[in-house]
Amino acid sequence: MRNFIVFLLSTIPTLALGDWEVNLPRGVTPTSVLAYDLHMLIFYITVIIGIGVFGVMFYSIIHHRKSKGVVPANFHENTKIEIVWTVIPFLILVGMAIPATQALILMEDTSEAEVTLKVTGYQWMWKYEYLEDNVSFLSRIDSESNKARKLNSGVDVSNVKNYLLEVDNPIVLPVNAKIRLLLTAGDVIHAWWVPELGGKKDAVPGFVNEMWFNINKPGIYRGQCAELCGKDHAFMPIVVKAVSKAEYEKWVMNQQNNNKIANKK
Amino acid sequence: MNTDADHLHEDHKTGIMRWITTTNHKDIGTLYLFLSLTMFFVGGAMALIIRAELFQPGLQLVNPDFFNQMTTMHALIMIFGALMPALVGLANWQIPLMIGAPDMALPRLNNWSFWILPFALGMLGSTLFFEGGAPAAGWTLYPPLVLQGGDALPYAIFSIHLLGLSSILGAINIIATILNMRAPGMTLMKMPMFVWTWLITAFLLIAVMPVLAGAVTMLLTDRFFGTSFFTASGGGDPVMFQHIFWFFGHPEVYILILPAFGVISTIIPTFSRKKLFGYDSMVYATASIALLSFIVWAHHMFTVGMPLAGEIFFMMTTMLIAVPTGVKVFNWIATMWKGSMTFETPMLFSLAFIVLFTIGGFSGLMMAITPVDFQYHDTYFIVAHFHYVLVPGSVFAVIAAVYFWLPKWTGKMYDETLGKTHFWLTTIFVNITFFPQHFVGLAGMPRRIPDYAVQFTDFNAISTIGSFGFGIAQILFLYILYKTLKQDVTADNKVWEGAEGLEWTLPSPPPYHSFEEPPKVE
Amino acid sequence: MNKKIKTYYLLTAFTIFMFGFSYMLVPIYEVFCEITGLNGKTGSINSTLVIEKPVERFVRVQFTSNVINSAPFKFSPGKKEMVIQPGKIYTTFYTLTNQSNQPLLATANPSITPGKYAEYFKKIECFCFTHQQINANETKELAVQFIVDKKLPSEATSLVLAYTMFDITKQLGYKLEK
Ligand SMILES: [Cu+2]
């Protein structure tokens, strides 16, 4: 109990200072930006509706109370207003559906991709295959996180760099190129998700799904498996390194050479 | 009506046998409510194990497999053990009283539908002690993962069959009662709103519980009898399970909320001292929500890779649900408008219901937008959303109903100060628990994980603190119930100044056999 | 008959119907998949597909493979990619090696991506039509003969054919001879 109180007190400065992530990341792909903009649009619409609806409600709660001697009115229907508050929300919804549908059409268009990356989910790691370049490897949680995450490991996880979000072999992808992902799984359903690259897609055993993105900023982007896939579901992170095209080509060459050496052995 | 009279005048036994053999709707309602309350604490304890593990990053208390068993069992127990029995219990107590019937239409069936439940829940709970543990694939039981589990699967599936059977029998009874046993003069469009919502809910139940039974039976035969409904090696498809499951699952969430709407539609007019605004549109809105619930299921699974046309269709139908739901909220507020409000405990819970359920509705509307749902799906944002509609939604409505009708059922008034304290503690802590989950979800925390990256620490810690506060507040609720039953402050027949309806014409508590002579409704 | 009992029977009948309906959803789902190309289930053959003079139009087909539940198979496409013309018949193959010391029974599930074009990809001969028995340490070449419908929409320039190999020896309870 005392620990608990100490903890409570210790959170106060963080509460004040912490730079908390409280929103969707805007992301670095056209699809993630679309999703973000729609998210904010709908959010603001709901906030405005909320202020209106709750405003009326609280006005009524404050003013129409028995303790103020209010005598209840007698009305209990009004066809006109009932039609209005059926039709107006409907129109607002139509207004939301139009940009949403447009975004969806764009997101589902996987044609004309420059790089095809096949992603296979396993319990509990990912396999990546660059179909055009003959490069493939497995990607697992890195060993430091893996040690720290064990029950009662005794490791203070806040000292582990990128705890649970670091892998042994990250994906390397070029920026400003349309990347198509082919997703499937080798055992149960997984889902591949890097928030800053846009949405997620399920990897279903026996079937192949696809999604695409086009990264516009070099950097390292992290994500996780997003579909419950068994006991180590929380421990199959995803790391994407977005680099310039030249760097990407160099990396591919290196990988191919490494593969050759490995095969000779 | 002779067949009822036979049941009604059976000498009822005393002691434990009275409860085991009872066919009286009041006894059975009480049994349901007690079972529900027990399961609420069992499921709540599991939630606290989950929250305790998530208090800090790193694994401190449980291993991941047990954590997954907890999330699975917490959901199954809360849905099938706590919420549904609570709503059926309210139906059992209230529907005959509200429509002026002497009992439920099929009293022996009623006894059966209750007594299946403890055994089914016992079997479900016992799987925790099996080798390999309870099912750990989430309450949605998705294959192939669920098929990997230990020996518990067939038992869990059989218990789901029994739980479903119990709800189906209960639903049949409710429909038979409402359609056949209303007091003379009570036309359908004069029925109290709570009765209407339950009539529609009961139809939903018998439409979808068999579908769940079918889906889990397919799981069973896939695992043990060589069928391949859900595996591609035999021409099946694991995603098909999700379609069948959510064909049940979406109406199921309305099964959990429509009777709650009925409760709120009863309490708001009572404490506003004004008739329910837009009774007719309320009925139509409820019916259209129920109908729409059959064509929106795939919005739970936008990421499985659907054809574009499917994604657009399910997005539009889902958004459409906001219209009748909005009508309901507007009607409640119009009922309060220019009323003469007082704020007793049931009213406070109902007002909180309107605000917090609407917040849950807003996040629901956000996730109807398919391109954004690709981001929200399977994150804590979803967890926050459905807990907002289920806890300050359905659970608050049940608590409000208990405070509202308890004086009628027992003839004793609860302690208003304690009731209000319970309300404020519950409402504050429910928000501390679930509001921060919106933030971690948006920031990228997936659901159903026992451990998380350190940037999610602060909000998870807050959420855990909130959940323990919420749990403690419910112990106060227990105490209030206990105190009410033990004390002598009696309630008069009408209990609430603004109360309207047949149940308030009866003494408090109502006699064991009420309305043996049907009342007249003009 | 008592009205209440009548309601009871009607509703019970409805309940039983809905249980049956859950099983009816299985064929309904299959029809739905076929119409929409969901899951990339490939189309059926039609002899009028072959055309004398295929249009001067080229489509890239990539081949890939998966093995489920780490079954002891090595399974890979013979060719990683082909450039084909709609309306022409092509043949390619996959190699399957049984790396265990037991004979095994295997079956493959095909999937075309993007799924919306799956109906235009027709298999004339395919190892996925039957179960494959494969002896211990044996390597087999598994052929697939296919044609892409000339009606394939013009915006489709690239297709992926994936086969997923399942070990179904246990599932079928098969007693295989050595
Ligand atoms: Cu996974």
Give dist(CA A207, CA A203) in Å, integer.
8
Q: For residue C178, name the pLDDT band (cuts at 50, 70, 90).
A: very low
Mean residue pLDDT of chain C comes to 80
Residue among B144, B329, B461 whose CB faces A188 most closely: B144
Residues of C in contact with A208 (CB under 8 A): 40, 111, 113, 160, 162
Nearest CA in chain C to B205: C15
* Cβ-defined contact of C80 to A113 (cutoff 8 Å): no
> Closest Cα partner for C111 from C35, C22, C18, C39?
C39
Mean residue pLDDT of chain B comes to 91
* Cβ-defined contact of C157 to A205 (cutoff 8 Å): no
Q: Give yes or no for a contact between C29 and C105, defined as CB atoms under 8 angstroms apart.
A: no
Instruction: Give the count of domains, chain B.
Output: 1
Answer whether residue B96 is part of any domain: yes
Residues of A in contact with C81 (CB under 8 A): 131
The encoded tokens of residue B22 equal: 């009872």
* Cβ-defined contact of C25 to B226 (cutoff 8 Å): no
Chains with ≥3 CB–CB distances under 8 Å to A: B, C
Mean pLDDT by 10 residues, chain A (265 residues): 50 45 87 92 92 94 88 83 90 91 88 89 92 89 89 84 91 93 92 92 91 92 93 93 93 85 62
Query: Please, how many CA atoms are within 13 Å of residue B3, restricted to the half-sphere of its CB?
Result: 11
Q: For residue B471, name the pLDDT band (cuts at 50, 70, 90).
A: very high
Pairing assessment for the beta strands A179-185 and A201-203 based on DSSP bridges:
unpaired
* Cβ-defined contact of A66 to B273 (cutoff 8 Å): yes
pLDDT in tens, B118-143: 999 999 999 998 888 888 999 999 98
Least confident of A238-242, B228-232, B238-242: B228-232
Answer whether residue B50 is part of any domain: yes
Chain centre to alpha carbon of residue A200? 6
Classify residue C10 by burial, with Cβ atoms within 10 Å: 0-12, 13-18, 19+.
Answer: middle
Give dist(CA B397, CA B395) in Å, integer.
5
The label of the residue with tokens 């439940």 reads: B117
pTM: 0.91
> What pLDDT does C40 receive?
58
Interface of B with A in 202-261 (CB under 8 A): 231-233, 237-239
Residues of A in contact with C109 (CB under 8 A): 206-207
* Cβ-defined contact of A205 to B232 (cutoff 8 Å): yes
Answer whether residue C162 is part of any domain: yes
**So where are chain A's domains?**
30-67+78-107, 115-153+162-264
Topology of the domain comprising A115-153+162-264: Immunoglobulin-like (2.60.40)
Whole-number Å distance, alpha carbon A231 to ligand 1 midpoint, is: 9
Nearest-5° Cα angle at B473, B471 to B477: 110
High-pLDDT (> 90) share of chain B, %: 72
**Residue B365 confidence (pLDDT) above 80:** yes
Q: Which residues contact A74 (CB under 8 A, 6 or more apart)?
A: B274
> What pLDDT does B452 receive?
92
Least confident of A213-217, B70-74, C127-131, C169-173: C169-173
Nearest CA in chain B to A166: B453
**Co-location of C25 and C47 in the same domain:** no
**Residue B9 confidence (pLDDT) above 70:** no
Answer whether residue C178 is part of any domain: no
**Co-location of C5 and C77 in the same domain:** no
Interface of A with C in 159-188 (CB under 8 A): 182, 184, 186-187
Interface residue of B50, B318, B338 to substitute, partner A, most A CBs within 10 Å: B338
The pair phi, psi for residue A127, each rounded to 5°, is -115, 135
Interface residue of C66, C73, C107 to substitute, partner A, most A CBs within 10 Å: C66
> What pLDDT does C140 receive?
85
Scanning B234-340, the segments in alpha helix (DSSP H) are 238-272, 279-292, 308-320, 322-336
Residues of C in contact with B297 (CB under 8 A): none
**Co-location of C53 and C136 in the same domain:** yes
Answer whether residue B105 is part of any domain: yes
Instruction: Give the count of domains, chain C.
Output: 2
**Residue B4 confidence (pLDDT) above 60:** no
**Co-location of C34 and C90 in the same domain:** no
Whole-number Å distance, alpha carbon A230 to ligand 1 midpoint, is: 7
Classify residue C1 by burial, with Cβ atoms within 10 Å: 0-12, 13-18, 19+.
Answer: exposed
* Cβ-defined contact of C4 to B106 (cutoff 8 Å): yes
Count of beta carbons in the 10 Å neighbourhood of residue B407? 22
Answer whether residue B117 is part of any domain: yes
pLDDT in tens, B135-170: 899 999 998 899 887 788 899 999 999 999 999 999
**Co-location of C13 and C63 in the same domain:** no
**Residue C176 confidence (pLDDT) above 50:** no
Residues of B in contact with A229 (CB under 8 A): 145
> What pLDDT does B1 receive?
37
Strands laid side by side in the C104-113 sheet = C81-84, C59-67, C158-167, C104-113, C132-134
Answer whether residue C177 is part of any domain: no
**Residue C74 confidence (pLDDT) above 90:** no
Domain that holds residue C132: 40-172
Answer whether residue C9 is part of any domain: yes
> What pLDDT does A15 receive?
44
Average the pLDDT over B295-318 and give the result.
90
**Residue B28 confidence (pLDDT) above 60:** yes
Q: For residue C85, name the pLDDT band (cuts at 50, 70, 90).
A: confident
**Co-location of C68 and C24 in the same domain:** no
Classify residue A140 by burial, with Cβ atoms within 10 Å: 0-12, 13-18, 19+.
Answer: middle
Q: Does residue B232 sit in helix, strand or coil?
A: helix
What residues are paired with C108 via a beta bridge? C165
The label of the residue with tokens 């598994």 reads: C142
**Co-location of C73 and C131 in the same domain:** yes
Answer whether residue C158 is part of any domain: yes
Whole-number Å distance, alpha carbon B277 to ligand 1 midpoint, is: 49
Q: For residue C17, name the pLDDT band (cuts at 50, 70, 90).
A: confident
Chains with ≥3 CB–CB distances under 8 Å to C: A, B
Give dist(CA B216, CA B161) in Å, integer.
8
> What pLDDT does A3 receive?
54
**Co-location of C11 and C99 in the same domain:** no
Q: Does residue A123 sit in helix, strand or coil?
A: coil
Q: Which residues contact B14 (CB under 8 A, 6 or more apart)?
A: none
* Cβ-defined contact of C14 to B206 (cutoff 8 Å): yes
> What pLDDT does A17 receive?
39
pLDDT in tens, B204-221: 999 999 999 999 999 998
Least confident of A224-228, B502-506, C52-56, C135-139: C52-56
Give dist(CA B168, CA B112) in Å, integer.
11
Give dist(CA C50, CA B323) in Å, integer.
52
**Co-location of C1 and C45 in the same domain:** no
Give me the interface pTM, i.e. the ipTM: 0.89
Q: Does residue A234 sit in helix, strand or coil?
A: helix
Whole-number Å distance, alpha carbon A119 to ligand 1 midpoint, is: 12
- Beta carbon pairs, A and B, within 8 Å: 300
Nearest CA in chain A to C117: A111
pLDDT in tens, B336-360: 999 999 999 999 999 999 999 999 9
**Co-location of C74 and C158 in the same domain:** yes
Question: What is the 3-class SS of B318-345, one letter each residue?
Answer: HHHCHHHHHHHHHHHHHHHCCCCECCCH
**Residue C159 confidence (pLDDT) above 80:** yes
Pairing assessment for the beta strands C59-67 and C158-167 based on DSSP bridges:
parallel
Q: Does residue B237 sit in helix, strand or coil?
A: coil
Least confident of A174-178, B173-177, B353-357, C21-25: C21-25
Residues in chain A: 265
Nearest-5° Cα angle at B140, B134 to B146: 50
Read out DSSP for A181-212? Answer: EEEEESSS-EEEE-GGG---EEE-BTS-EEEE
Interface residue of A1, A15, A17, A21 to substitute, partner B, most B CBs within 10 Å: A21
Answer whether residue B187 is part of any domain: yes
> What amino acid positions of B are annotated as catalytic residues?
74, 103, 139, 166-167, 250, 252, 254, 265, 299-300, 325, 328, 447
Q: Give yes or no for a contact between B56 and B458, defined as CB atoms under 8 angstroms apart.
A: no
CATH code, B167: 1.20.120
Chain centre to alpha carbon of residue B209? 14
Q: How far is C166 from chain A (nearest CA, A)?
A: 9
A110/C contact by beta carbon, under 8 A: yes
Residue among B172, B181, B210 whose CB faces C19 most closely: B210
The label of the residue with tokens 């979808």 reads: B208
> What pLDDT does C24 receive?
85
Nearest CA in chain A to C112: A208
**Co-location of C86 and C7 in the same domain:** no
Residue among B137, B276, B375 whose CB faces A195 most closely: B375
Give dist(CA A123, CA A32) in Å, integer.
27
Q: For residue B3, name the pLDDT band (cuts at 50, 70, 90).
A: very low
Q: For residue C3, name the pLDDT band (cuts at 50, 70, 90).
A: confident
Residue among B65, B144, B326 whose CB faces A205 most closely: B144
> What pLDDT does B51 receive?
95
* Cβ-defined contact of C8 to B172 (cutoff 8 Å): yes
Residue among C2, C3, C7 whose CB faces B175 most closely: C7
What residues are paired with C122 via a beta bridge? C43, C147
Residues of A in contact with B275 (CB under 8 A): 76
* Cβ-defined contact of C164 to A118 (cutoff 8 Å): no
Q: Give yes or no for a contact between C39 and B236, defined as CB atoms under 8 angstroms apart.
A: no
**Co-location of C5 and C74 in the same domain:** no
Chain B positions with Cβ closer than 8 Å to C:
3, 105-106, 109, 168, 171-172, 175-176, 179-181, 206-215, 218, 226, 228-229, 231-234, 237, 239-240, 243-244, 247, 305-310
Q: How far is A3 from chain C (nearest CA, A)?
A: 45
Nearest-5° Cα angle at B476, B329 to B29: 65
Residues of A in contact with C62 (CB under 8 A): 116, 131
